[in-house]
Amino acid sequence: MTEQPEIIFEKIAARKKELAGKVLILCHHYQQEDVFRFADLTGDSLKLAREAADSEKYPYIIFCGVHFMAESADILMDDDQAVILPDLNAGCPMADMATVEQVAAAWNELAEVCGGQTVIPITYVNSSAGIKAFVGNRGGSVCTSSNAERVLTWAWTRGEKVFFFPDEHLGRNSSKALGVGDDEIVVWQRGKKLGGNSVEQLVKARTILWNGYCHVHQEFLVEQIDKWREKIPSIRIIVHPESPWEVVRQADYYGSTERIIEAVRQSEAGAVWAIATEVNLVNRLKKQHPDKTIHLLAPTPCTCATMSYITPANLLWVLDNLAQGKVVNQITVDGQTAAGAKLALDRMLEI
């Protein structure tokens, strides 16, 4: 028989109190409210990884996010700390769109046709530890949705072109914001020879984009913006840069989850917003700012399905095991992979 939510909440609170000083619970902004309420620290993926790295006194870090986030935390933390993911099924479809084998094969093809040019690999933080290590070992860097433009600028001082993965949209939006023309941006299509491009296109390109994407942010469309503007002419549109270029171009603002939160917080009472990002964050902003009118840009809920694998029930299961001295669902990155990935993460932090 399944326990009532209120009973699970009471047990989680009791376990947290029992394990105080030993356990730190991190929650991503896209996490459902019934889990988010128990967070000790909240933020986007990299902010949380850095918070974990600065939390040496806690032997156990419970990461209520997805797999690549927990990997980043493990890479940045001390060896005597354990990172725990309440449900190992909580992955990221976009991160899975770029495997080390696929990227390595593409990298070798690219080297054959662009051998006289220096290519700098850049990976979005939403990628596996293996991809981060691949990038780190080849002189590249990680980026986030908030610093992608700075990282690209850095990369172009070191080479003629950037190979950007796994998110096509973040790479295009950031490149175009820096003045890169459409004829200097190409998309590497997985499974096609030379990514479906000609040699001439690849040689000319400054940005080569992997054709990965976020399922959530693909749901936002220009037509939705047009309908909101027609209905409420004074509405402000803010979108996440994982959204397609056409959507970003028509919005008033774009930025990371932290940027979206800050923009809404700083706006005056009575402001009306339509926001293009995951629905749990949008609903949370509605509750936090009752003096403002906040809408999800899309007409139907846009949910990160894998993030929702983290539930109060499996959070309690993890805490119950820790109370008995057992560590379950620990996320560990092997030493060689972690060393390469840390190179890429450290370069970003320096930038």
Alpha-carbon gap, residue 16 to 209, rounded angstroms: 44
Please compute the mean of the pLDDT values over residues 227-233 and round it to a whole number: 98
Q: Is 113 inside any structural domain?
A: yes
What is the per-residue pLDDT for 89?
Answer: 95
Q: Is the pLDDT of residue 2 over 70?
A: no
* Residue 341 counted as domain residue: no
Does a structural domain hold residue 272?
yes
pLDDT averaged over the chain?
Answer: 95
Tell me, what's the pLDDT at 259? 94
Query: How many of the other CB atoms lie within 10 Å of CB of 305?
Result: 10
| 300-329 residue pLDDT tens | 999 999 999 999 999 999 999 999 999 999
Contact of 273 with 292, CB cutoff 8 Å: yes
Is there a single domain that holds both residue 114 and residue 48? Answer: no
d(CA 21, CA 40): 11
> Residues 159-186: what's their mean pLDDT?
97
pLDDT in tens, 257-276: 999 999 999 999 999 999 99
270 class by beta-carbon count within 10 Å (0-12 exposed, 13-18 middle, 19+ buried): exposed
Identify the band that residue 147 occupies on the pLDDT scale cut at 50, 70 and 90: very high
Kindly tell me if the per-residue pLDDT of 40 is higher than 90.
yes
In whole angstroms, what is the distance from residue 277 CA to residue 318 CA?
29
| Backbone phi and psi for residue 330, each to the nearest 5 degrees, phi listed first | -75, 135
Report residue 142 as tokens.
Answer: 């990680």
Q: What is the mean pLDDT of residues 52-73?
A: 91
Question: Are 193 and 274 members of one domain?
Answer: no
Helices assigned H by DSSP within 25-91: 33-36, 45-53, 67-76
> How far apart are alpha carbons 118 and 220 in whole angstroms?
35
Looking at the structure, tell me whether residues 163 and 210 fall in a common domain: yes
Question: What pLDDT is attached to residue 230?
Answer: 98
Among the candidates 214, 236, 262, a domain finishes at 214
CA distance 86 to 65: 9
Q: Looking at the domain assignment, is residue 64 inside a domain?
A: yes
User: What Å distances lie between residue 13 and 42, 59, 227, 247, 315, CA to CA?
Assistant: 17, 19, 44, 42, 11
Residue type, 89: N
Mean pLDDT of 13-19: 97
Is the separation of the CB atoms in 295 and 281 below 8 Å?
no
pLDDT bracket for residue 118 (50, 70, 90): very high
Which pLDDT score, from 0 to 100, does residue 53 have? 79
Examine the domain organization and report whether 129 and 28 are in the same domain: no
Residues 204, 288, single domain; the answer is: no
Residue pair 193/109 in contact by the 8 Å Cβ criterion:
yes
Phi (first) and psi of residue 187, to 5 degrees: -110, 125
189 belongs to a structural domain? yes
- By residue range, what is the domain housing residue 77? 5-91+307-333
CA nearest neighbour of 155 among 207, 102, 103, 115: 207
User: Mean pLDDT across the stretch 271-289?
Assistant: 97
Please report, rounded to a whole number, the percentage of residues in the chain having pLDDT higher than 70.
Answer: 99
> What average pLDDT does range 322-351 have in this prediction?
95
Instruction: Classify residue 349: in a domain, yes or no.
Output: no
**CB-CB neighbours of 31 under 10 Å:** 26
Q: Are residues 134 and 186 in the same domain?
A: yes
In a shared domain, residues 148 and 175: yes
List beta partners, residue 24. Answer: 61
What mean pLDDT is predicted for residues 280-292? Answer: 97
Q: Report the run of H or E that residue 254 belongs to, with start and end.
A: strand 253-254
Task: Provide the number of structural domains found in the chain.
Answer: 3
Residue 5 CB partners (closer than 8 Å, separation 6+): 34, 312
β-bridge pairing 272-276 and 253-254: unpaired
For residues 25 and 115, membership in a common domain is answered with: no
Model confidence at 56, in pLDDT bands (50, 70, 90)? confident
Same-domain status, 210 and 221: no
pLDDT above 70 (res 291): yes
Give the pLDDT score at 52.
80
Residues 6+ apart with CB under 8 A from 316: 8, 11, 12, 15
Q: Is residue 347 included in any domain, yes or no?
A: no
pLDDT value for 349: 86
- Say which CATH number the domain at 79 has: 3.40.50.10800
With beta carbons less than 8 A apart as the criterion, state whether 126 and 256 touch. no
Q: Is the pLDDT of residue 1 over 70?
A: no
Answer yes or no: is 348 within a domain: no
Average pLDDT score over residue span 289-309: 95
Whole-number pLDDT of residue 342: 95
Instruction: Reply yes or no on whether the pLDDT at 343 is more than 90.
Output: yes
- Provide the 3-class DSSP secondary structure of residue 229: helix
Calculate ∠ Cα 95-98-103, nearest 5°: 150
Rounded distance, CA 75 to CA 87, Å? 19
Instruction: Record the tokens describing residue 89, joined without a space.
Output: 């099924």
C-alpha gyration radius of the chain: 21
Residue 244 pLDDT: 97
